[in-house]
Each structure stands twice: as structure tokens, then as C-alpha cells.
Amino acid sequence: MPQPLIGITVGTGSVHEANGTALRVRSTYPRAVAAARGVPLLIPLAIDIDTLRAIYERLDGIVLTGGGDVEPSRYGAETSPLTAGVDTMRDEIEIQLARWAIDEDKPLLGICRGHQVLNVASGGTLIQDLHEEMPGSFKHDSPSDEWFTRLPHEVKVARGSKLYAALGLDGEDRVAVNTMHHQAVGNPAPSLCVVASADDGVIEGIEHPERRFIVGVQWHPEALYSQHTPHRHLFEALMMAASPK
């Protein structure tokens, strides 16, 4: 079976160059895709819509990665002082990719920010800061990168959902996850189903019930795939859905 070509979105960061920016993504994303027998391809920013479309058409699937916050105007909200790391160019690229994937039933996995982008692209809203807007929630933003490999809480996953099948839970309906976010899905988009939640009510998983594999998760499975079977299964399920027939 041919290996699927999986596009992985990137963010930007500062460098000591004339233009002041560089494209960047954690190496765990392409490694997780490759470990699941996919071929990772990084999708650049600062490209025109025709070039983006040409890249998209060659892809078998997409991973929307983690990163900074989505511009609140994208979901009809005023910007909170606690919203940070907004990259309007990245918002534009990722929202467009998500909408194309939904319209054309191309497999997509949204991770952390990507989970939130999927909801915004579909017409949903975000909570701009959990501590401010959900004061009863527990701490979801972690103090350091080492927490990417810790499992501080569980999420409950809806039986019968695509996410449940993808994780391979087989009778269980809870899975331990890592956590590194201060924002979350607010009002879910009408076309999406909430399929996983933390015990404090934070939405941790969404999916499109009428598409092969349009799934978003609030945690970071790409940091867990090598040691925790359910998170490896999630990438394998994406590859299966995206594999050229």
C-alpha cells in the first residue's frame, strides 16, 4: 500500500535574519507521522492561495499542529488581554486548509491549537483563557515542555465515535493525556460533535460525523506516540484514512 503524504502546518519564530522570522515546528510531529507509515511534508506560510491549493491537492491528509492563539475576530469575539501568540498569516492558511478538507472529505487531525482551528473554521468559538472564563477548571497549561510526556489527567471519549475507534480503546472509555493549553473550544460548531471531555468539562475532542476522518484533540498525541499505545493508534488511524486507494 502506498504511504500517504501528510501535510503538517508550521508556525513562525524569531531569528537573526533580515526578515526577522523563520518557519518552525516541533520535530515530534513529522516523527509521529513517519512512525505511523506516513510521509510528512511541512506546509510553508507566506504563500499565495494558488500555491497553497496546489500543495493541498497533492496531500492525502493534513495535521494541524499546536501553537499560539487564534485571532478572536475569526470567531466574532473581542480580543482578551490574555490572548497571545496570534499569527494572522498562520490563521489564514490553517483555516483555509481545514475548510477545504471538510468540504472535500480529506482526512485531517487537529492537535491542540489545530483542534481549536478546526472548530473556528467550522463556525465555532473559543474560550480565550480557561482560568478567566472557566474558573472551576483544573490547570491545563503546563509549566514546562517536559510536561508534554506526562499524563496529568484523563479524558472521557464517546463510545461509537471515530475518535474512540481511532484510539483503539476496546471497552474502555477513558484515556490519559498530556496538556499544554490555556484556551479551549467554547461553542462547538454546528457540524461538529463533541466526542471527548475532561472531568472539569473542558472539551478535549471533536469530530465531523459525516466525514471519513476530520478529528480534533486538545492534547498532544505526537509527544506520546512512542510510549503510549492509544496515541500511536490515533496516528495510525489517520494514515489508514488517508492511504491512497
Of 153, 181, 182, 220, the active-site residue reads 220
Q: How many CB atoms lie within 10 A of CB 186?
A: 18
Q: Does the active-site annotation cover 146?
A: no
Of 112, 207, 208, 236, the active-site residue reads 112
Beta pairing class for 61-64 and 108-111: parallel
Q: What DSSP character marks residue 226? A: T
Of 23, 97, 88, 95, residue with least CA distance to 55: 97
SS3 94: helix
User: 30 phi and psi, to 5 degrees?
Assistant: -65, -30
Residue pair 101/107 in contact by the 8 Å Cβ criterion: yes
Of 140, 222, 233, 236, the active-site residue reads 222
Taking every pair of C-alpha atoms in the chain, what is the biggest distance, in angstroms?
55
Q: Does the active-site annotation cover 112?
A: yes
SS3 40: strand
Q: Does the active-site annotation cover 220?
A: yes
For residue 101, CA distances in Å to 28, 106, 121, 138, 219 come to 23, 5, 11, 33, 21
Q: Cite the DSSP H helix spans in 111-173.
A: 113-121, 130-133, 162-167
Hey, which residues are catalytic here? 112, 220, 222
